[in-house]
Amino acid sequence: MLVGCLVGFFFFGGLWWTVQKITSSRRPYLISVISFLVRTSVALACFYLLLQTGWQNLLAAMVGFIAIRFVLAYKLEPERRPTKDDHQSG
C-alpha cells in the first residue's frame, strides 16, 4: 500500500504541478503531453512490477494510489468563493 501511496503522490502531485505550470507557459500543450507521458509511464511500470509479486500487492497499491488522490484533492483544493447560489439557499 505504501508503494501505491508513493506512486499516487508522484502521479497526482505531478498533475497538480503541471496545472500550475501550464497557466504561465508559452507551450502548455507540450508540458501537458510530456507530463502525462512521464506520469503514466512511471505509474504503469510500478504497477506492472507490483503485479509480478502477486495480485494482492497490486490491489493494496491501487488502494493506496486512490487514497492519495483523495488526500491531495482535499489538501490542494483552492479556496471556494461564495457564489450567488450560496446566499440564496437557507
The structural domains of the chain, with segments of one domain joined by +, span 2-76
Residue 10 has pLDDT above 60, yes or no: yes
In the 3-class helix/strand/coil scheme, how is the chain assigned residue by residue? CHHHHHHHHHHHHHHHHHHHHHCCCCCHHHHHHHHHHHHHHHHHHHHHHHHCCCHHHHHHHHHHHHHHHHHHHHHCCCCCCCCHHHHHCC
Q: What is the pLDDT of residue 89?
A: 55
Specify whether the CB–CB gap between 84 and 25 falls below 8 A. no
Of residues 77 and 11, the one with the higher pLDDT is 11
- The band of 85, judged by pLDDT with boundaries at 50, 70 and 90, is low
Say what the pTM is.
0.79
Q: What is the pLDDT of residues 37-46, one digit of tens each?
A: 999 999 999 9
